[in-house]
Structure 1
Amino acid sequence: MHDRRSFLKLGAGAAVGGIAAALPSAASATECASNIKWDETRDIIVVGSGFAGLSSALNAKRQGLGSILVLEKMQVIGGNSAINGGWLAIPKNPIQLAQGIQDDSPEELVKDQIISGRGMQNTDMLRQMANRALDAYQLCIDAGVKFREGFNQQVGGHNKARAIRTQHGVGGDITTKLYEVGKKEGVEYRLQHYVEDFIMDGQQIVGLKVRQNYRFPDLKTGKTIYIKANKAVILAHGGFSRNLVLRELVDPALDKTLDCTNALGATGEVTLTAMAHGAFPVHMSFIQTGHWGSPDEGGFGWSNALLSIGFHKGISVNVLDGKRFMNERADRKTCSDAIMKNRNPDGSPAYPVVFFNHDDHVGAEEVTRAVRDQIAWKVDSLEQLAKQFNIPLAQLKQTVAEYNKQVPQRIDPLFGRMMDTAVELKAPFIVSRIWPKVHYCMGGLKTDLGARVLHSQTLAPMKNLYAVGEATGGTHGGTRLSSTACLECLTMGIIVAETIKSDMQA
């Protein structure tokens, strides 16, 4: 039988938040797996078409696991992954080695992730992903992904420069290539297919109830079909940061001034469905914000690219007092927490500014685009900067003067920032406002190291049900280190295919 309790079904439907009050058909719970008339059968069904889903599907095909079907509920391939910043942390990557950085290793990356995880991370999971980082890189290279020539940067929270970036600075450079290669190798992709429910035989998943030709966000569109999964279902549907009801339920402290970087489809219905069937959730309240957000653009936007310059080459200043207030190169949680303390007396955001030298970045795409779209401005002097953003001029001048004295000394006595990329600040400047945006869910479905989803009663794997990427929880702990989401998704796509093959042979 569909072994969901009715109250869990209704809770899952109601928590979708802004999409529907309940899930159609799924609440009936009267169908038995033995009585289902299957419309189609595949060996492996992958739910979601981001980095994790595309990697899982391609690697499952290469492991010889039979027919592979990828279901995507939206109208395009790629999900959140297609619009992310295209960063990928790879210890020992060729660009890093060419730069003369010889002392990095997978274990060094794990050390940084342990710090950012604040003691709540799954170190064994992080270690296996770091150890497969070069496999993920090679997967991309073999698919034809282009990375920026000579670009390898030290990003927030990392102790080494190990973050490479795609040619165009977007994850779509990766999702497009993995999709094209998968299609050539026989992976089947379906758009506008919304998972309504799981078909279970006890704790074993045997197939999916799917709304075909679904048009987001209208759950009355399309028709219901049943697809049998002979070998496995892989959940790669991402997080739930666009589900405002669920987000507030698990973390009421999330400030309503925060926008979200994620695609509109990041609403987590499949996570709720899995939970209703007994899948064990973990760390659901751990939701990360991206400190590089701009209040002057919606969604993910381009501020991430601009501020990758600003946080390395410039400083952040509180507009109320003209002083620096944080280590601009700390991890996301540290920076976000510091930024959100910048408040007017009535509690509204007093958006801080970040500024850096214009003349050092003439013609840079990130700068040109940001100024064009008015998420950044060129100012010719500190006087103009202070006037435009209502910052106390005397204190602003003092802040810049003190900072410029620290640059040649390579020491930041205020916040302990690494100063290896710092330069003396000289007008004219590029300046932008910042405010964090909800970005990533560290919580989700608990899995073992092989990506098998654990059941909440037995704490043992649910047969034939696997999960990878942001759909899972408990891996990163308190916060995810920047440039590691793509790494996780790609490597776990490799690992889950190996796991399923091993399980089939057991």
Structure 2
Amino acid sequence: MSVLAVADADFGFQVPVLVIGGGACGMVAALAAADAGAEVVVLERDPVPSGSTALSSGFIPACGTRLQAAAGVADSVELMAADIQRKNAGRGDPAIVEAVCRQSGRTIDWLAERWGLPFVLLDGFLYPGHSVLRMHAHPDKTGAALLGALRGAVERAGVEVLTSALVSELFADADGRVAGVRIRRPDGAIEDIGCGALVLACNGYGGNPDMVRQYIPEMADALYFGHTGNQGDAVRWGEALGGEAVHMTAYQGHGSVAHPHGVLITWALMMEGGIQVNRDGRRFSDEHHGYSEQAVSVLAQPGGIAFDLYDERLHRLGMDFDDYRAAEKAGAVRRFETLDEMAAAFDIPAATLKETVDHAARCACGEAVDPFGRDFAGKPPLQAPFYAVRVTGALFHTQGGLRIDAVARVLRRDGTKLPNLFAGGGAACGVSGTTVEGYLSGNGLLTAVTLGHIAGTQAAGLNDG
């Protein structure tokens, strides 16, 4: 992956806007560019667009939407931005945080009304760190369903998506102006495509073991739950053009992936009263801190394993989610009439497990205080029959990337703008600050769809120069 001189190109055709990546960011960027009147082509390395979006829950936080208004939810750009900055300890770029929050509601409503995407407002629980209900999702509540809806919209918009088209090089002049790209086909064929503006929507570097070990060594040996194509190409291209990569130590983890089944278990179970225990039968953290940093906590347990423990009430909640139903079908979800049965099945000390569950129950009743600081109030104590899932911690996607301005233009190291290069989603520096703890639920898809919307619109309106 490199940047070549324009003189080395043999462009077969030109297009005003090129988008690299067919995930949520790329699809939204393409819709935005098309809506602004530009011809746009999406380049996707896989035979069928999927990316990390299809592996996610597909939940997008947004404020000021029509769905919130209909549900009587009072939200604002200021409140959402404050939630994001509180989680990242103030390390997010305030201009970018404000821009994505302001764009969030507009993007959800635009996708729904202009392009016919179905959304629901998740109202059964509040994700950690969010002050109000603002998670929007496809009714199927999966990333695959969200991406499928976006693909359908892109098709209706008449946008061409070239699949099995791996971008291997960019062509640019000495000033960093991108003139086009080179794509390689599975059969070895090579094609050069010219462009007036380029949008990098090809995620981060989670699939690159060397970069993971360099920037987030604590996750070097963790399960990677993202797309293997996320090799850090955007960062390397951007840096070669004079751009700057920042916050490269930030990422989203998840502390609840069924193991060895490899299915995401919704964190709603923890938020609504479930607990996590290790092989010793003990809790080891405040499960309400956030599912991202919980990945590190789980991996620190013996064998990098923990157990989600909950009851029939929470099992029924889980069944509202396609991923959870898939986990049950795969045999990851286990039902037990007693804690003794669970302890025997997972080789956990029964007495310790009972003590742990009893203490959580007393916390829920206000008779004890959790040493980890979790507030159990408002949720009923767990009761038989019990359910459990063996889980591990995983790396989902990286949050560092190319530094951009509030209109998604990639910036040089001196703060000036590159002429015609835009970035969104995992290709751009996100709003999670510099650590795993800074990730607020939904930050990944938040920046994917909002920056995709902004980048596509801006790229379409960019004149030649």
Same fold (TM over 0.5): yes
Say if 2:176 and 2:241, in contact at 8 Å, map to a contact too: no
One-letter amino acid of the counterpart of residue 491, structure 1:
T
Relative contact order higher in (CA < 8 Å, ≥ 6 apart) = 2
Deviation at 1:476, TM superposition (A): 2.1
The residue that corresponds to 1:499 in the other structure is 458
Aligned to 2:309: 355
Moved more, 70-79 or 134-143: 134-143
Deviation digits for residues 239-295 of structure 1 (CA, Å, limit 9, x no counterpart):
111111221122333241x11111222222243233223221112232331122222
Deviations 1:370-426 (A, max 9, x none): 232122211110111111222222222222222212224398532333435522111
Residue identity opposite 1:494 in structure 2: H
Equivalent in the alignment of 1:449: 406
Matched, 1:110 2:81: yes
Which residue of the partner structure matches residue 422 of structure 2?
466
The equivalent of 1:329 in structure 2 is 288
In the alignment, what sits opposite 2:227? 263
Structure 1 position 304 matched with structure 2 position 265: yes
Rate the CA distance shift 1:238–1:410 in 2: closer, same or farther, 3 A: farther
Q: Partner of 2:11: helix, strand, or coil? A: coil
**Is the deviation greater in 47-56 or in 266-275?**
266-275
Q: Tell me, in whole angstroms, the C-alpha distance in 1 between the residues paired with 2:121 and 2:243.
A: 43
- Preserved CA contact (<8 Å) 1:445 1:467: yes
CA distance in 1, matches of 2:152, 2:286: 41
The amino acid across from 1:188 in the alignment is E
Q: Evaluate the alpha carbon distance shift between residue 92 and residue 480 of structure 1 in structure 2; reply closer, same or farther with a 3 A threshold.
A: same
Cα distance, 1:115 vs structure 2: 2.2
1:128 to 99, 124, 140: 99
3-state DSSP of counterpart to 1:54: helix
8 Å Cα contact 2:282-2:356 kept in structure 1:
yes
Unpaired stretches in structure 2, ≥5 consecutive residues:
none
1:146, 1:173 within 8 Å by CA — same for their partners in 2? no
| Residue of structure 2 aligned with 1:205, choices 159, 163, 177 | 177
State the distance in 2 between where 1:421 and 1:369 align: 29
Equivalent residues in 2 for 1:236-275 (5 A)? 236-256=201-221, 258-275=222-239
Whether the 8 Å contact between 1:153 and 1:164 is mirrored in structure 2 is no
1:281 equivalent among 219, 241, 245: 245
1:294-340 deviations in whole A, cap 9, x for unaligned? 22223xx2x333x42244231112221x2222221212344233223
Contact in 2 for aligned 1:312/1:329 (Cα 8 Å): no
Is it true that 1:339 corresponds to 2:305 in the alignment?
Answer: no
Shift of residue 189, structure 1, vs aligned partner: 0.9
Q: Which moved more, 1:439-448 or 1:156-165?
A: 156-165
1:73 is matched with 45
Aligned mate of 1:40, from 1, 13, 19 = 13
1:304 partner amino acid: I
Alpha-carbon separation, structure 1, partners of 2:287 and 2:448: 27
The verdict on how the C-alpha distance between 1:418 and 1:91 changes in structure 2, with shifts beyond 3 A counting, is farther
- Asked if the contact 1:212–1:223 (Cα under 8 Å) also holds between the matched residues in 2, the reply is yes
Q: Matched residues in 2 for 1:82 and 1:294: separation?
A: 17
Contact preservation (8 Å) 2:425, 2:444: yes
For the Cα contact (< 8 Å) 1:207–1:226, is it kept in 2? no
The one-letter amino acid paired with 1:443 is: G
- Aligned mate of 1:181, from 153, 168, 190: 153
Cα deviation, 1:39-87, whole Å, max 9, x if unaligned, reads 11101101111111111111111112x2111100111123211221011
**Residues 312, 328 of structure 1: 8 Å contact kept:** no
| RMSD over equivalenced CA pairs, Å | 2.5
Tell me which protein shows more strand as a share of its residues: 2
| Superposition map of 1:147-166 within 5 A | 147-148=119-120, 151=123, 153-166=125-138
- Measured after TM superposition, the shift of residue 97 of structure 1 is 4.5
Distance 2:378 2:133 in 1: 11
- Find out whether 1:392 has 2:349 as its counterpart: yes
Distance change >3 Å, CA 232–CA 505, structure 1 → 2 = closer
Counterpart code for 2:237: T
Match in the other structure for 1:16: none
Q: 2:24 aligns with which of 47, 51, 54?
A: 51
TM-score (norm 2): 0.90
234-243 or 279-288: bigger deviation: 279-288
Question: Which residue identity lines up with residue 338 of structure 1 in the other structure?
Answer: S
Q: What is the TM-score with the length of structure 1 in the denominator?
A: 0.83
Percent identical among aligned pairs is: 22
Q: Report the Cα distance in structure 2 between the residues aligned to 1:410 and 1:481, rounded to whole angstroms.
A: 31
Q: Is the 8 A contact 2:122 2:135 kept in 1?
A: no
C-alpha deviations, 1:108-137, integer Å up to 9, x for none?
221221122133211221111111221121
Q: 1:410 to 1:275 in 2, by over 3 A?
A: farther
The SS at the match of 2:420 is: strand
- CA–CA separation in structure 1 for the residues paired with 2:285 and 2:19: 42
Q: 1:161, CA displacement in angstroms?
A: 2.7
> 1:150 deviation in Å?
6.3
- Cα-to-partner distance string for 1:424-465 (whole Å, 9 max, x where unaligned): 111111101222101121111111111111123x43111111
Q: Give the gaps of 5 or more residues in structure 1.
A: 1-22, 215-220
Kindly provide the CA deviation profile for residues 4-31 of structure 1, in whole angstroms up to 9, marking residues without a partner as x: xxxxxxxxxxxxxxxxxxx5xx59x5xx
Q: 1:291 corresponds to which residue? A: 255
- Asked if the contact 2:206–2:398 (Cα under 8 Å) also holds between the matched residues in 1, the reply is yes
Mark the CA change 1:236 to 1:150 in structure 2 (over 3 Å): closer, same or farther.
closer
